[in-house]
Structure 1
Amino acid sequence: MHKLNFLLSILFFVPLLGFAQNAEDDFEGNSTITSWYGDDCGMDNAYGNPFQEGINTSATVLQYQDNGGQYANIRFEIDETFALSQNAAFALKIYVTSSSITGGQPNQVSLKLQDGDLPEPWSTQTEIIKPIVLDQWQEVTFDFANDPYQNLNEGSPNPVTRTDFNRVVLQVNGENNNDLVTAYIDDFVYGVDNGEGSIYNQLVWADEFDGNGPIDPTKWHHQTQLPNGGSWFNNELQHYTNRVENSYVEDGFLHIVAKKENFTDQGYTKSYTSARLNSKFAFTYGRVEARAKLPFGLGTWPAIWMLGKNITEAGGYWANTYGTTGWPACGEIDIMEHWGYNQNYVQSALHTPSSFGATENHGGTLASDVSNTFHIYALEWTPEEMRFSIDGSVYYTYAPNNQNPATWPFDADQYLLLNVAIQGEVAGNFTQSPMVLDYIRVYQEGTNTTADTEELQQIQVFPNPVEGPLNITVPATLAGAQVKVYSAAGQVLVQEFTQDSTSLTLDWSGYPAGAYVLVFESGGERVSYKVVKI
């Protein structure tokens, strides 16, 4: 008997494999949460989204209004209890308007877990507090296995070992105050995809920075040549050098060190030195991950970024062979930028012919202690969009409605750059500070290499775009093939069932509009189909 295994979903938010409990609400009518309650605040969980932009263009959200209540919060309970584990977390999207805020409270959102069966549920609660950025949608995750948490009762055990939590409490800008704040919350979900959902899951290039000494010359090129005019762009103050003082590997970590020192090169003396590395690897579409700590100090400007391989920039690794196009027509992808004058804020940006320099295509987020703590900065680059995240939380998506060379010069190879620049006012006591990388990795979609390739290419998915029924047919030889559906955010959508027939019709009328990816797997091979729901 032939069986065809499909992993599909009926809703946009569904419980991920491995979780016995689930709690999700997209505030569009798809919810496993029975009721939301507001304590000492106003709440409307069917409020028209006033900011349909960025990573959240859905029509309906939850409005949270702290009108001065000392302990304002919203909450819900589940029938069972949450079993926290290394693979389970909570996530939500949030937008807080700066114009609604009074007082001097820190801009933050906290998630508290409580035992709602106790007379005083807060007495044994645990809590994670995350900083937020005002006036933009951002996704925030709360992972009790890995994030710093606070137990109200110091005698309470580690939350991941507990089985008494059945209540979730959300609070914006803290308690014990009478200040005002308005927030909008969307797409609450318990159970966060751990990255399996990305179609880019085959490692194709990496530097783990093992060992000690100079950087690996087979992977990196030192770009040191000054542009015309004797200064780097943006009025930067440093020379980039190929010295080990400015870039080296030690104990398994890359150090790119900005230093205060007089240094003469190419006929110019400058007061600072640093390093700028070009990767000798370029690619189109994929996922980039870099685990890094950032430098301290007013004036420092570290970046993990990309440029089109076709750029005509002087001294670049690719320019002599492939340089045909100037900036910004080559396209620039800033995966992570940080400025020393805004210590815990990181930003991502796109520079294109339609918007460059002080580009409007950017988004940022606050992170915790970026210079003492490693964070994972990532880019997911597909033919349709760019998604930027920190520690798995997406905070900015670039997806122009009209893709053309002016808005989307991102359909050709780009290469990686790592550097620390010095710009603007510099701290008077600055001597040196490094950006430290544990690794940088590039993943792409696996390629088909065996005899099943031909059968995989015979799969039919129609109509596409789809409004209602979606039909799938496969060759009889593909018994046992596996299919996964990924949302545009990279989540695995997961209802598992078997189908004896080689054809299947699914009703997609309840799916949100957008792009989905169906990935078929057989014999270790994979083929992908993009499906657009209208």
Structure 2
Amino acid sequence: MRYLLSILLLLSQVSLFSQAQISQDNFEGNSTITSWFGDDCLIDTNFTNPFPTGTNLSSKVLKYSDIGGQYANVRFDAGFNFNLVTSSEFSLKIYVPSSGITGNQNNQVSLKLQNGTSATPWSTQCEIIKPIVLNQWQTITFNFGTDAFINLDPNSQNPLNRWDFNRVLIQINGENNNSNVMAYIDDFLYSGAISTCTNLVWSDEFSTNGVVNNLNWFHQTQLPNGTSWYNGELQHYTNSQTNSYCSNGILSITAKKQTLTQQNQTKQYTSARLNSKFAFKYGRVEVRAKLPTGAGTWPAIWMLGKNIIEPGGYWTASHGTTNWPACGEIDIMEHWGTNQNIISSAVHHPINGNLSIGEYTTNSQYKAGVSNNFHIYAMEWNAQSITFSVDGVNHLIYNPTIKNQYTWPFDAEQYILLNVAIEPSVSSSFVQSTMEVDYVRVYQEAALATTNFQNSERIKLFPNPVSDKLTILNLENTNPTAEIYSILGQKLHSCILLTNETNIDVSNYQNGIYLVKLISESDNNTYKFIKK
């Protein structure tokens, strides 16, 4: 990686959190929701609690005033897609006074999930309806994994298999009526589980210039059938630095228009295909990369079973026992130059009843500028499911109900592949294009380690975890520089510590672990804090 190598070397001894998915609001300043909006109704998100009794003594609440709107509701956009596999429960407190109701509607509250990016977000919504009791505060939970739900479109999938929900609607006493409802809402919460894959077990930051690190990677160059690669691809893969090399913390895999004869075959294009010399079962893979461009380019970040029989593959000689697709294939990222800015992921496995014939499950998402900017392509794999995302936004969750040798060959170790192939559709004007990889990281489950990150007697960070203001207590006789870095090595803040206390606003930081590096004559240690 191009920066903060010293910090990242320390990270091999510390567990790392993936970003949590949290939407919460107590309407008293502790909120991750900034987009409350009233449809066909009036709302006030800073209203004095008119009924500070029972289970809710807080001073501020959201006031919901349906004054006859036919489809009144209050809603917000989360800013991320809900991962209902890891966390499917939403909760809120509600008080509906009988004096604020007209009509004879059922006393109920609905929570609806929608795709806020759709032109018709209601068309594929999923809804849970719960009864309420008037004239008292009560906590209502909506669990899309266990509660009865209603899909407006009966062809919609089970919500646990949906990745596109990013909007929440709350509706009281139903819709398609002109009755009045006055209600008060408080303590809304959705807390997506932080990834259990928290321990960095293997990585390559590509920090050494020149050849690719052969302790981590194997160049796969042998034509598997003696004449070509699969899918009619046109390239030779090589171990030449013209096709793969490291420079300034970046691995470059370059596909080139270049005539090359090897293995008694002449081809007009060259590229590189790397196999990781590390294999694992279950965990999270994160790859930060910028993709090549041009019709005919086919970059991929993917995985194969360590037990695959494939001529020329790194693991075949020592562990090859199983042919494709019975070995299983996990495609973290695939991109085709003929479909710019569309990122696809897939799992390949045998068709039911025949281990020799493959089928696959796939989905994709639009991501602007994939060939101009770096993005994080991630896959999280456990015994139940495999989830794919780009920059934290999920687009595919594979979770078959029946798991057997046909649907789930994903119960054994897999290894990582990086390559850029050339398809027959390549443009005649194509010369070369490169996939740039900033890092490859693999995380697995482990307890949070705090070794080498304890507060000292002279420097203390509090509160920890912190929600908005981090205080650094400096009892040294010097004024060291403090630098804050994200877990990905991005420098976020720098300041000179005051004698005694220095306060730093971290309210806009995402939830997770951050590192504070102190630079002085007496203290060059690194400390950690958790933003919640």
TM-score normalized by structure 1? 0.52
Contact 2:89 2:190 in 1 (8 A): no
* Correspondence for 2:31: 21
Deviation string 1:95-145 (CA, Å, 9 cap, x unpaired) is 7489999xxxxxxxxxxxxxxxxxxxxxxxxxxxxxxxxx99544879xxx
* Correspondence for 2:335: 338
Q: Distance in 1 between matches of 2:445 and 2:317?
A: 29
- The amino acid across from 1:423 in the alignment is E
CA distance 1:399–1:281, shift in 2 (3 Å): same
Q: Cα distance, 1:389 vs. partner? A: 0.8
Q: Cα distance, 1:296 vs. partner? A: 0.4
Match of 2:202 among 192, 200, 205: 205
Q: Cα distance, 1:294 vs. partner? A: 0.4
Q: Cα distance, 1:13 vs. partner? A: 7.0
* Correspondence for 1:353: 350
Map 1:470-481 → 2, pairs under 5 A: none
Match of 2:289 among 286, 289, 292: 292
Contact 1:295 1:433 in 2 (8 A): yes
Q: Distance in 2 between matches of 1:396 and 1:258?
A: 28
- The amino acid across from 2:393 in the alignment is S
- The amino acid across from 1:336 in the alignment is M
Q: Cα distance, 1:45 vs. partner? A: 8.3
Q: Does 1:309 align with 2:306?
A: yes
Q: Distance in 1 between matches of 2:308 and 2:65?
A: 53
CA distance 1:388–1:92, shift in 2 (3 Å): farther
Q: Distance in 1 between matches of 2:65 and 2:242?
A: 57
Map 1:311-330 → 2, pairs under 5 A: 311-330=308-327
Contact 1:337 1:347 in 2 (8 A): yes
- The amino acid across from 2:431 in the alignment is T
Map 1:140-219 → 2, pairs under 5 A: 197-219=194-216
Q: Distance in 2 between matches of 1:293 and 1:360?
A: 26
Q: Cα distance, 1:55 vs. partner? A: 6.4
Q: Does 1:433 align with 2:433?
A: yes
| 1:15 aligned counterpart, secondary structure | strand
* Correspondence for 1:386: 386
- The amino acid across from 2:24 in the alignment is P
Match of 2:262 among 262, 265, 270: 265
Q: Cα distance, 1:304 vs. partner? A: 0.4
Match of 1:251 among 223, 248, 253: 248
Map 1:409-428 → 2, pairs under 5 A: 409-428=409-428
Deviation string 1:407-466 (CA, Å, 9 cap, x unpaired) is 0001110000000001131122210000000001000011699xxxxxxxxxxxxxxxxx
Q: Distance in 2 between matches of 1:301 and 1:14?
A: 37
- The amino acid across from 1:395 in the alignment is H
Q: Does 1:223 align with 2:217?
A: no
* Correspondence for 1:492: none
Contact 2:349 2:358 in 1 (8 A): no
* Correspondence for 1:119: none
CA distance 1:190–1:276, shift in 2 (3 Å): farther
Contact 1:55 1:396 in 2 (8 A): no
| 2:317 aligned counterpart, secondary structure | helix
CA distance 1:242–1:43, shift in 2 (3 Å): farther
- Structure showing greater radius of gyration is 2
CA distance 1:365–1:401, shift in 2 (3 Å): same
Deviation string 1:375-396 (CA, Å, 9 cap, x unpaired) is 0000110110001111111111
Q: Cα distance, 1:205 vs. partner? A: 0.1
Deviation string 1:133-168 (CA, Å, 9 cap, x unpaired) is xx99544879xxxxxxxxxxxxxxxxxxxxxxxxx9
- The amino acid across from 1:388 in the alignment is F
Number of corresponding residues? 318
* Correspondence for 1:176: none
Q: Which stretches in structure 1 are left out of the alignment for 5+ residues? A: 1-11, 26-30, 47-52, 61-90, 102-134, 143-167, 170-188, 450-481, 483-534
Match of 1:275 among 272, 283, 290: 272
- The amino acid across from 1:20 in the alignment is N
CA distance 1:100–1:21, shift in 2 (3 Å): closer
Q: Distance in 2 between matches of 1:36 and 1:436?
A: 53
- The amino acid across from 2:31 in the alignment is Q
Q: Distance in 2 between matches of 1:448 and 1:369?
A: 35
Q: Distance in 1 between matches of 2:310 and 2:231?
A: 15
- Percent identical pairs in the alignment equals 48
| 2:426 aligned counterpart, secondary structure | coil
Q: Which stretches in structure 2 are left out of the alignment for 5+ residues? A: 1-20, 37-44, 46-60, 76-81, 91-112, 124-155, 170-187, 450-464, 466-532
Q: Distance in 1 between matches of 2:357 and 2:366?
A: 22
- The amino acid across from 1:241 in the alignment is T
Q: Distance in 1 between matches of 2:115 and 2:276?
A: 34
* Correspondence for 2:148: none
Map 1:5-20 → 2, pairs under 5 A: 15=24, 20=30
Q: Distance in 2 between matches of 1:41 and 1:272?
A: 63
Q: Distance in 1 between matches of 2:268 and 2:240?
A: 16
CA distance 1:372–1:35, shift in 2 (3 Å): farther
Q: Does 1:445 align with 2:445?
A: yes
Q: Distance in 2 between matches of 1:366 and 1:448?
A: 34
- The amino acid across from 2:420 in the alignment is V
* Correspondence for 1:407: 407
Contact 1:306 1:333 in 2 (8 A): yes
Q: Cα distance, 1:354 vs. partner? A: 2.4
| 1:353 aligned counterpart, secondary structure | strand
Q: Distance in 1 between matches of 2:64 and 2:237?
A: 58
Q: Cα distance, 1:358 vs. partner? A: 7.9
CA distance 1:391–1:267, shift in 2 (3 Å): same
- The amino acid across from 1:383 in the alignment is A
| 1:404 aligned counterpart, secondary structure | coil
Q: Cα distance, 1:33 vs. partner? A: 6.7
Q: Cα distance, 1:245 vs. partner? A: 0.4
Q: Distance in 2 between matches of 1:332 and 1:303?
A: 12
Larger deviation, residues 13-22 vs 263-272? 13-22
